[in-house]
Amino acid sequence: MKKVLVMLLLVLVAAYAVDRNITRIQTVLPNPNDNRPQTKISPFTRQSNPINPTPLLIGRLEVIGYTSYDWQANGPVYHDCIYDPVANGIHCLWMYSHFNQATDRQMYYNFYDFSSHAWNWPDAGIGVYTMRSGYGGMDNDPISGCAYVTAHATVSSVMTTVAARDQAPGAGLFEYSNAAAGYQWPPCAVSHSENIGVALTNSTDQDSLWYTRGTPWNTWSTPVRIPDPGAPADFPTQNIAASKTSNKMVYVWQCSDDPYPERAMYKLSTDGGATWGTQTQIPFPPSVGITPGFHISGLFAMFDASDNLHIVASVSDTGFTIPAEIWHYCPTNTPAYKLVHHYEADTLTAPVGYNAIFATRPSIVQDAANPTNFYVAWEEFDSLNYEPLTTLARADIYVAQLTNNGNTVARKGRITDPNTTSKRFPVVGGIKNDTVFVQYLIDSIAGMELYTQGVATNNPVVVQRFYKNSLPAAVEENPSNRYYSVALKPASPNPFIYTTNITYTVPISGNVNLTIYDILGRPVRTMVSGTKTPGEYTAIWDGKDANGNKTQAGIYFYTLSTADKSVSRKIIRTN
């Protein structure tokens, strides 16, 4: 009897650790039951590399499925990862393909059940539809806890928006309905009274935005056009969100009629999408030094528990992918805008590819336990880390904690390891107790195979969990002085024989590390380690290692690291 009690206690402790595990790093492994070619994924150990010698992964990764369809969204991300307190679990959605995108593309679903402490379909997921489908969205029913899924598919030779709803929370027992023939690219939202609203694009005019409403289930309204004359949408920028405490809905899009800068619009409904209010332009953020334009991949909206509207958006200097910024906009805040992140590469070695800027695809969620706190996730491309096969930059996932109803950036940092993979299409799904959930794709080759960039690979779709306060404290970004930032100048001379000067700038007092690494990422010599006050400094490297020995001729990297930034450059030593 004593042994039984001990074993039961161990099981309970292990189950508790599954949902409280905030520091353990779990290796992402290939699916052992899958005979397809597997993507080789880094075990995410803390090992040095010349791109970033101190990689960071916080929390735990869990594989929820696989896909070779590495282009998960043309425009912004949708609400495809949702913590649902009614269902006591996490709903997740993605596009699946088994290396045959012409026929087997499918919307796949998985559900984490906090009662059983497990994914219902470990490492796999389940197909939502029985036909080829794609580019859909998901939302949760706030009454039943069931998932609603939309997608587009060919029905009777016509491109059709199709809908599915689970018959029990996380069951994967979907019933189906054809929502609108002749329409596609359909994100969806479910309101407090279980109205399902779908944002549509006309199949013959993809810059033409429409809306249909399902209430009751399987009864759909005739699609109505959303943008007013003079504000047509750019394809495919639409997104939609619903309140979980009222019948409010919001429809957001970016305009295509403007010369740069690009405008963005939204319309509100207070009756579950039955009628829509006045079209409202989202004001341009108060960027400094750039002319901001909203990017086609950058609009994501939500309502908080008090029914206030929040929008996160990515903007760039008009016509460029960099500088790139993430902004939080709440019309009821004073001021309405808050700069979440500004990205300006010190060195640019590769482009970002199709439909992206250097920091983009943000999503936002409220912390129910601390309602004035929010979390924003986005993908950010590394200007120094690129894929040799496609010559495209690789991306990592960043998360920021906003406090004071979104007016303060309290914590911010990268949650993934910069390595030979590219992490794309993140969705911050929610917070349970003190743990944040983020879903994303790990692409083993940066670039979209769909657009002939690289080759198809079997990529894991993962959910990363981490303790919400494990993000590093943020250094507040002030738009008026952000250009006085950490800077690492090119070494001079470069190449060099005897000595070279390495000049760097730090904007605030804090710990600074300047280290030389060889081509394999092994530390050669630490040039600077300690506290520096604001200013410009120069370190002189005489080509020797930490033991005073002359280094061999070859390629080296020198990396400057501060509390919130790491910058690397290449240097060549000759004989």
Q: What is the pLDDT of residues 193-245, one digit of tens each?
A: 888 999 999 888 766 899 999 988 899 999 999 998 877 777 789 999 999 99
406 closest CA partner among 471, 335, 477, 306: 335
Q: Is the pLDDT of residue 45 over 60?
A: no
First to last CA, the chain: 75
pLDDT, tens digit, 9 for 90 and up, residues 290-316: 788 899 999 999 999 999 999 999 999
User: Mean pLDDT for the chain?
Assistant: 85
Say if CB 441 and CB 96 are below 8 A apart. no
Examine the pLDDT at 37 and tell me if it is beyond 70: no
Residue 482 has pLDDT above 60, yes or no: no
pLDDT for the residue numbered 94: 97
The predicted pLDDT at position 51 comes to 34
Sequence-distant (≥ 6) Cβ neighbours of residue 10 within 8 angstroms: none
Q: Give the pLDDT mean for 536-555.
A: 92
pLDDT in tens, 400-452: 999 999 999 999 999 998 899 999 999 999 999 999 999 999 999 998 877 77
* pLDDT value at residue 102: 62
Q: Which residue has the higher pLDDT, 275 or 288?
A: 275
Domain ranges in the chain? 15-43+55-467, 487-573
CATH of domain 487-573: 2.60.40.4070
The reported pLDDT for the residue numbered 420 is: 92
Partner residues linked to 250 by β-bridges: 241, 268
pLDDT level of residue 262 (50, 70, 90 thresholds): confident
Per-residue pLDDT at 40 exceeds 50: no
pLDDT tens-digit profile of 88-117?
999 999 999 987 666 789 999 999 999 999
Question: Would you place residue 52 in the very low, low, confident or very high pLDDT band (cuts 50, 70, 90)?
Answer: very low
- Three-class SS state of 528: strand
- In sign, the C-alpha dihedral spanning 124, 125, 127, 132 is negative
CA dist., res. 346 & res. 436, Å (int): 31
- How buried is 31 (Cβ within 10 angstroms: 0-12 exposed, 13-18 middle, 19+ buried)? middle
**Phi, psi at 16, each rounded to 5°:** -65, -40
pLDDT above 90: percentage of residues in the chain: 61
Supply the DSSP string of 15-65, one letter for each residue.
HHHHHH--S--------TT--SPPPP---------SS-SS----SEEEEEE
Quickly state the pLDDT bin for 165 (edges 50, 70, 90): very high
Task: Quote the pLDDT of residue 91.
Answer: 98
**Which pLDDT value is given to residue 98?**
84
Query: At residue 120, what is the residue type?
Result: N
**How do residues 335-394 score in pLDDT, each as one tens digit?**
999 999 999 876 677 888 888 999 999 999 999 999 999 999 999 999 888 899 988 999
**Domain 15-43+55-467 part of CATH 2.120.10.10:** yes
- Output the CA torsion sign for 502, 503, 504, 509: positive
- C-alpha–C-alpha distance, residues 77 and 408, integer Å: 24
Residue 502: alpha-carbon gap to chain centroid: 34
